[in-house]
Amino acid sequence: MKKAKNLLSTSILCICTYLVFAQAGGEDCATATVISSLPFSGQGSTLGANDDYFESCPDVGNQGGAPDHVYRYDNGNAPLIIDVSLCEAVTNYDSQLYVYEGTCGGNLIGCQEDGCQSPAYTAQYNSSITAIPLQPNTSYYFVIDGYDVGSLGNYQIDITVNDIAAPDSSEIPLVYINSTVYPIPDEPKVFGSMQIIDNGPGNMNHATDPPFGYSGFIGIEQRGSSSTMFPKKGYGLETRDEFGLNRNVSLFGMPTENDWVLHGPYSDKTLMRNELSYYLGRQLTEYAPRTQLCELIINGIYQGVYLFTEKIKRDDDRVDIDRMLQTDIIGDELTGGYIIKIDKGSGGNNGFWTSQYQSVSTQPEPINFYYHYPKPDSIVPAQQTYIAAYVDAFEDCLAGPNYQDPSLGYQALADINSFVDYFLLTELVKNVDGYRISTFLTKNKDSNYGKLRMGPFWDYNLAFGNADYCQGGSFTGWAYRIHDICPGGQWHVPFWWERLMSDPEFTNRARCRWDELRAGPYHTDSILAHIDSNVALMGEAKDRNFERWDILNDYVWPNNTVTGSYDQEIAYMKNWIINRMVWLDNNLPGSNGDCSFLSLEESELPPEINVFPNPTEGDFYVEFTSATDNYLISFTDINGRLLWQESRSNIGLHVIESSQISTLQNLESGIYFVTLTSGSQSVSQKVVRK
C-alpha cells in the first residue's frame, strides 16, 4: 500500500548540503565497493548517482527511480548470519535496501523499504534486514536505494555479525533440522533430517536429551507469499522414510500425518497470533489446525520461535470429508468431498474458476475460487464442473429474491452455522485478510451432509490490530466491509457477507452464538488467560527469538504500532482484544430472543435427503428415513416455483421415484430443490438436471 509522503520535507532534503564520506558505495555492481571484513560501517551520498537497480519490497510498494549505491562482500569458508542497517547516524532520506546472493541483480535474498528511523530523518522510513544467512565462498551485493525519484541523500550502512547461539535448554520443544541445501529453497522440497526433543508439557527440553519427539527423514521447502521476503522464513515439510516416501507420524501428540507447516512469526511480534486464532477456532468447530510452539535450529543455526502446525489437508483427523478418486465422476461419488479456497493467485495456486458475481465495491473485482482438494493437478473436468456449478447455485440462491427462505434460499446449499462461526471469529480478530485471502470452504458428499461449509481457519498473523492499512489497527468497524475503506486494491471480499448480514436468520443466529461464546470460551478472562499461558510457556525462548531477530524497536510491515518491547506487544494485543469484544457486544446486530436452535438434538432435526443419480440426465430417486411422522415433501425450481408436493405420515424409509410423478418428468436443465419440512424445521437437497 502506498504511504503518504511529506513533499516539502523531501524537497528540503534534496537541496541540503551533502558531505563527502570515506567508504562510499560504488555506482553499480561492476564498481561496487568491496567490504574486506566484518563488522563494517560505510558512509556516502547518492546525490548525483544513477538509478541502476529496482526491486519491489513487500512493505509499502516503493516507486522506483531513486539513485543507488552498491557494496560487495565475499564471504569466506564458514557460513555467517549478518544484520544490515541504514538506521544509524547520518541517513537522512527515505531509504531502501536490497541484498543479492551470487549475482548482482539476480538472486534477491533480502528487500526492505521501511523498518526503522535514523536519528537524521523525520519518520520510520529507513531500512534494516536482520539475520541474513551467508553461504561459504559466496559473494553478496548490498544495494542502497530509495522509495521514489525524490529519495536521495546521505546514508550510513552498518553490517554486523549476528552470532546468537542455539539454546542449551528450552521450556518448549527443540526442533533440529539438517538440510542438504541451505538456505532452504522455495520448492522443490529438498531432502533432510529432523530431530525433535519434546519431553512433554511442564518439562525442560535439553539439547543433550534423546529426540523422543521424532528422529527421521523429511522433505522441506520454503512456503508463504508476501512473507517470503522476510528474513525469518516459513517452511512446509513432509515426514518421510529412508526411501523418500511419505511417512505418517504423530508429532507433539497430534494425530498421525505426514504434511506439516513451520510458521515463523516475524511481523507478529507476540509470536502467537496464529496460535491464538486457531485455538479460538477450535472452540467453534470440529477442526482448526493444531499447533505447538517450539524453537527451531537449521543446520546448526538458531532460527527463533516457530509454530509447528498441521497443514490443511483432507484427512479423517484434519478436514474430515470424503476421499475423492479421479473415477468419481457420477452420482453421489461426484458430490464430495471438496476443499476450495478464496486466495491470491500465488504460492502454488494455479487452478481456479471465477465467480459470476463481482465484489461489492465502488471498484468491483472478480472473485477466484482455487482448487485445494482434489489438487489442481489431480481434479478431473467432471469434478471441476460439479463444484463450480454447486458454488454458482449457492451464489444464485444468495443473490436471488428468495435468499431468506430456509428451503429455497442459500440455506438449502450452505451450512448457515459454519458461516456464522467463520464470521464471528474473523470479526473478533478483525483479520484484514479475512473473507478474501486464505479463506477455505469445504463440501462433503450429498449423502454425508453435503452442504457448503466455511473453514477451516487459516493465516491470522495480520489480525488483532497488526495491520496499518484499511483500518486494520482499529478495534472498531467491520472486517467484511473493508472495501468501504479501501475500495481498490486486490483480492476482494465476495458479496456474500453483505447479503448474509441483511438476513435476520443469519444475524439472529450470530447474536445467539456470540452471547453463548462470551459466557464461555470467548469470555474476556478466558482469552487473556490463554495469552498469559503462552507467554509463560515460551519462557526465555521469546527473549532468544528477539536476540536473533532484533526488531522490537523496528517497524516490520504492516505493524500498526511499534511498542519497543515484548511485554508491550502483549499489552497492546490484550488491550485491543478487550476493546474489540466490547465493540462487538455493542454493535453485533440480531436478536437473542429465541436461541433454541443452539440446543437442538440431532433427532429433532429433519432427516438427510439422498438424491441419486445426482446430477441426473433423466429419472432420479429421492430417499430419506424419518424418525417422526408428519413430513411435507416438496419439489421446487431455483426460482421457488412449486412443481410437486405431498405429505408423509409414516415413520421409516421413504423412496420417491421421479418417473412416477408427471411434473417431475422431462425437467429442463437447471437447479431444483427437494425439501422436507416438519414443524418449524426444514432441510433441502439440490438436484442438478443436466
pLDDT, tens digit, 9 for 90 and up, residues 493-518: 999 999 999 999 999 999 999 999 99
The pLDDT value given to residue 178: 97
pLDDT at residue 282 is higher than 70: yes
Distance CA 101, CA 31 (A): 17
**Cis ω on the peptide bond leading into residue 265 (within 30° of 0)?**
no
What amino acid occupies position 181? Answer: V
Return the pLDDT at 16.
40
Q: Give the lowest-confidence range in 48-57, 192-201, 593-602.
A: 593-602
Answer whether residue 60 shows pLDDT above 70: no
Indicate whether 344 pLDDT > 60: yes
Q: In DSSP terms, which residues pair with 688 in a beta bridge? A: 671
Let me know: does 100 contact 140? Beta carbons within 8 Å. yes
Which set of grid coordinates corresponds to residue 47?
546525490
All structural domains of the chain: 7-161 (2.60.120.380), 169-310+529-562 (no CATH), 331-522+583-593 (no CATH), 600-689 (2.60.40.3080)
Instruction: Give the span between the Cα atoms of 139 and 76, in whole angstroms.
Output: 9
**pLDDT (0 to 100) of residue 604:** 42
Look at residue 19 and tell me whether its pLDDT is greater than 60: no
DSSP state of 186: S
pLDDT at 348 over 70: no
Asked whether the predicted pLDDT for residue 586 surpasses 60, the reply is yes
What is the tens place of the pLDDT at every residue in 663-686?
888 888 888 888 887 766 677 778
- Between 104 and 35, name the one with better pLDDT: 35
Average pLDDT for residues 387-391, to the nearest whole number? 95
User: For position 7, what pLDDT does the model report?
Assistant: 34
Which grid cell is 211? 529426540
Sequence-distant (6+) residues with CB within 8 A of 303 are: 232, 264, 295, 296, 297, 548
In this predicted structure, what is the pLDDT of residue 599?
65
- Of 345, 330, 415, nearest in space to 376 by CA: 345
- 606 pLDDT exceeds 80? no
* H or E element at residue 637: strand 631-637
Residue 441's DSSP bridge partners are: 340, 454
Residue tagged 476421499 (cell numbers): 323
Q: How many whole angstroms separate alpha carbon 513 and alpha carbon 392? A: 28
Return the pLDDT at 5: 41
CA angle 72, 76, 77 (to 5 degrees): 150
Q: What CA–CA distance (Å, rounded) separates 541 from 546?
A: 9
CB 188 within 8 A of CB 204: no
Q: Could you tell me which residues come within 8 angstroms of residue 443 by beta carbon, excluding any fewer than 6 positions away?
A: 321, 335, 336, 337, 338, 340, 387, 390, 450, 451, 452, 453
Q: How confident is the model at residue 21 (pLDDT cuts 50, 70, 90)?
A: low
Q: What is the pLDDT of residue 316?
A: 96
Q: Would the pLDDT of 428 be above 80?
A: yes
- Residue 617 sits at the vertex; the CA angle it makes with 613 and 619, to the nearest 5 degrees, is 65
Give the range among 98-112, 331-345, 404-418, 634-648 with minimum mean pLDDT: 634-648
How confident is the model over 244-258, as pLDDT tens digits? 999 999 999 999 999
- Please tell me the predicted confidence (pLDDT) of residue 121: 86
Please tell me which residue, 56 or 460, carries the higher pLDDT value: 460
Whether 81 shows a pLDDT value over 50: the answer reads: yes
Contacts of 673 (CB under 8 A, 6+ apart): 407, 408, 412, 635, 636, 637, 638, 684, 685, 686, 687
Give residues with Cβ within 8 angstroms of 626, minimum separation 6: 607, 648, 650, 651, 652, 654
Q: Parallel, antiparallel, or unpaired: how do β-strands 139-146 and 40-45 relate?
A: unpaired
CA distance 407 to 681: 10
Task: Convert the pLDDT of each residue in 459-495 to its tens digit.
Answer: 999 999 999 999 999 999 999 999 999 998 789 999 9
Write phi, then psi, for 281 (nearest 5 degrees). -65, -35
Give me the residue label for grid cell 451464489.
395
Ramachandran angles phi, psi of 547, nearest 5°: -75, -40
- Residues 215 and 204 sit within 8 Å (Cβ to Cβ): no
The predicted pLDDT at position 363 comes to 93
To the nearest 10 degrees (0 to 180), the angle between helices 566-587 and 541-548 is 110
> What is the structure's pLDDT at 528?
97
Residues in Cβ contact with 665 at an 8 Å cutoff, skipping those fewer than 6 apart: 619, 658, 659
* Inter-residue contact 117 to 87 (CB < 8 Å): yes
The DSSP code sequence of 92-147 is -S-EEEEEEESSTTSEEEEEES-SB--TTSSSS-B-EEEEEEE-TT-EEEEEEEES
CB atoms within 10 A of CB 233: 23
Q: Is residue 10 over pLDDT 80?
A: no
pLDDT of 9 higher than 50: no
Mean pLDDT of 88-100: 89
Mean pLDDT calculated for residue range 212-217:
98
pLDDT at 145: 92
Kindly tell me if the per-residue pLDDT of 570 is higher than 50.
yes
Per-chain mean pLDDT for the chain: 89
- Confidence label for 600 from pLDDT (cuts 50, 70 and 90): low
Residues 634 and 622: beta-carbon distance below 8 Å = no
Residue 226 pLDDT class (50, 70, 90 cuts): low
pLDDT at 444 over 80: yes
Residue 15 is predicted with a pLDDT of 35
Query: Pick from 294, 258, 256: which is nearest to 275 by CA?
Result: 294
The predicted pLDDT at position 62 comes to 63
Indicate the pTM of the whole model: 0.82
Residue 45 has pLDDT above 60, yes or no: yes
Distance CA 80, CA 517 (A): 49
Task: Please answer whether residues 75 and 140 qualify as being in contact, where contact means their C-beta atoms are separated by less than 8 angstroms.
Answer: yes
CA 494 from centroid of its chain's CA atoms? 17
Give the torsion sign (CA, 49, 51, 52, 54).
positive
pLDDT of residue 627: 63
* Predicted local distance difference test score (pLDDT) of residue 306: 99
